[in-house]
Structures are given as C-alpha cells and as structure tokens.
Structure 1
Amino acid sequence: MTTATDVDRVYDLAEDIGVCMLTSKAGAALRARPMHAKIDRDAGAVTFLTDVRHHKDDEIAADPEVCLAFAKPGSQNYVSISGVAEVLNDRAAIKARFSEMAKLWFPEGPEDPNVRLLVVRPTAAEFWDGKTNPIAVAFQMAKARLSDERPDLGDNRKVAMGGS
C-alpha cells in the first residue's frame, strides 16, 4: 500500500539526485538521455526544459509513456519513475522554470523560440533508499556472505503515483 510518505520519499530522492536518464520510445526502440529534473510537488509532476528541435519531443508526441531513472551510487539511492509526458509551449511556465544553468543551452533566455517545457506526470515509481554508511554496507555484505540471508542495504518500495 502506497502512503503519502512513500510518494514524498520518491520526490525527495529525485530532487536530491537532480539529474536523471529520460527514456522515451523511438518506434520499437528505447532511447535515454540525461536531463536536469525539477520536481513540482504541487502539480504532481517532474519538469524539464527541452529543445523542440531534438528527437525526444517527436518521440513523446508519438508515444507519451516515459521512464525517468535517477541514480546516486555513492549513497545507494535510486529512483525509477514511470509516467506520461507532454511537451508544452507555455511561455510563463518556461520563464518560471528557467535558470542560469538553462542559459548554457538556451543563451537567448526563456524567450528562445526553441525552448519548451517537458512535463512528466508520474503514474508509478520505485525507489531504493540505501544505507549511506560504508561501514554498515560492508557489515551487511559480510553478514550475507556468512549466512543464507540477503543483505539489508536499505528500503525498496513500489509506489503508486497520482499521474494520469
């Protein structure tokens, strides 16, 4: 059973990690690329700035189901978010989301005619919230080798999200 705490943990982990691999469908093939995510908890969405001239926008228009994979191996934290994406030309939302980092890709600023807002509305997620203490991880691994038990490396949960 999904709790509000689980949903919050999905967003907390994704927000902490920040960059994910956005996977979309290109016909029968899957394609992934790194994207800088912005979590919008109030809207129940993950947003990105994107360039309308790139293939992901066409792929999403053809099939809006996507997966966002976040990873922070040093702390053993991982999040996978499945959802439905759409590309919007909402200039006010683009301006609100625009940052100094975005200027690297869009030097004309939020008025650049090629910048769009990519919105992913999560439908499901799974997280692995690992133990960050290397000594605790080493202990769990050693304990598992000496027994028939799997190591306890943290929490893992499947989470139903609000989405479409």
Structure 2
Amino acid sequence: MANLKKFEQNPQRQLLEEIKGSRCVMLGSPDHDQHMQPMAPQVDEEAGIIYFYSDKTSELGQTVLQSPGMVHMCHIDSDYQACVRGELAPHHDKATIEKFWGPMVEAWYPDGPEDPKLMMLKFVPHDAALWASDKSALGVFFEVTKANITDEQPDLGKSKHVQL
C-alpha cells in the first residue's frame, strides 16, 4: 500500500523511490509512432534523474541518437501509478555508466561498459501525474460496496499533478 502521508508531503521523492524500487517502467520514444517499451530504471535520487542502459542498434536507441526529445515514462504498481513527462537524451558520462553497472546489465552487454552497442539514456523528469492508494483488497471492497449503497464515489486514494 502506498504511503499517503509521503504522497502529500513529498510526492517528488516518493516518485523516485517508487521508480527505484521497480524492476521496470514503460519508456516512450521521441518518435511518438513507436510503442513504449519496458526498461530497467537506474535512479539518481539526489539529482532527480533516471538513467537507462540501451542498445545503440535498437529502434529506441537509434531514435534517441537522431532526435532526443520529450517522452513519457509510466510506472504501474498495485497501489501507486505514475505517468512522467520529461526529456530523453543520450548520456556519455563513463562514471554514470559504471555507477549503475552490475550483473544484470552485464548479461545484456558482455563486453562490459565499453561494449560497442551500449548507450546510456538520461531521462530528466519535468512533471508527473500521480495516483496512490492505501487501501487493501478488503478496503477496496468496502469502499465500492459503500459507494453502491450511498450513490457516492468510492474513496480509493489520492491523485495529483506535480512539477519535478
């Protein structure tokens, strides 16, 4: 269940923590004719930046190399959802590439940080639409049942738009 106190007090920090704790997010492309794709986020919480390892030869990699730009990134969990808009561009800093390097990344790039196909993408968030709930399955059932009896909307959580 999402922490609604944190959602109200510091939604920007909670967003980065949620993304950091997720295995993957759906990342868009500057070419809006392409579909979003699952990517593993590497979060620098202090800087508020999200990095992704990508392949220069992939459709996304080639698009970002040719025309970096605004994209959407979506994170969906059972009790926390976010749609984040920001700028996506290639990032060539070797220290950043090595900072997040690990066995999972090496599985995709066996030649290490110098792999010729490897590229890092830098996603700088601008704003986000957020939704969070602290309701258990029983809490959702209760709210829906109450709403059907009283003809009121169920209270399933909070939503907001934030600048990042």
Report TM bin, short chain: 0.7 to 0.9
Alignment partner of 2:102: what SS?
A: coil
Alignment partner of 2:10: what SS?
A: helix
Change (3 A) 1:111 1:63: closer
The correspondence of residues 111-122 of structure 1 with structure 2, limited to 5 A, is 111-122=114-125
TM-score, normalisation: structure 1: 0.86
Aligned to 1:97: 100
Aligned to 1:17: 22
Higher strand share: 1
Alignment partner of 1:43: what SS?
A: coil
Distance 1:106 1:157 in 2: 38
Aligned to 1:86: 89
Structure 1 unmatched runs, 5+: none
Q: 1:144 aligns with which of 144, 147, 161?
A: 147
Q: For each residue in 1:105-159, what CA deviation from the matched residue of structure 2 results, as whole angstroms up to 9, or x when unmatched?
A: 1111212122111110000012111225111111111112222222111121111
Distance 2:9 2:49 in 1: 15
Distance 2:48 2:21 in 1: 17
Q: 4+ residue runs of structure 1 moved beyond 6 angstroms?
A: none
The structural deviation recorded for 1:63 is 4.4
Structure 2 unmatched runs, 5+: 1-7
The correspondence of residues 14-163 of structure 1 with structure 2, limited to 5 A, is 14-26=19-31, 29-60=33-64, 61-73=66-78, 76-161=79-164
Percent sequence identity is 24
Name the aligned partner's letter for residue 127 of structure 2: A
Task: Note the aligned Cα RMSD (angstroms).
Answer: 1.9
Alignment partner of 1:136: what SS?
A: helix
Distance 1:70 1:149 in 2: 29
Distance 2:46 2:107 in 1: 27
TM-score, normalisation: structure 2: 0.86
Name the aligned partner's letter for residue 73 of structure 2: L
The structural deviation recorded for 1:68 is 0.7
Count of residues in Structure 1 that have an aligned counterpart in Structure 2: 157
Alignment partner of 1:152: what SS?
A: coil
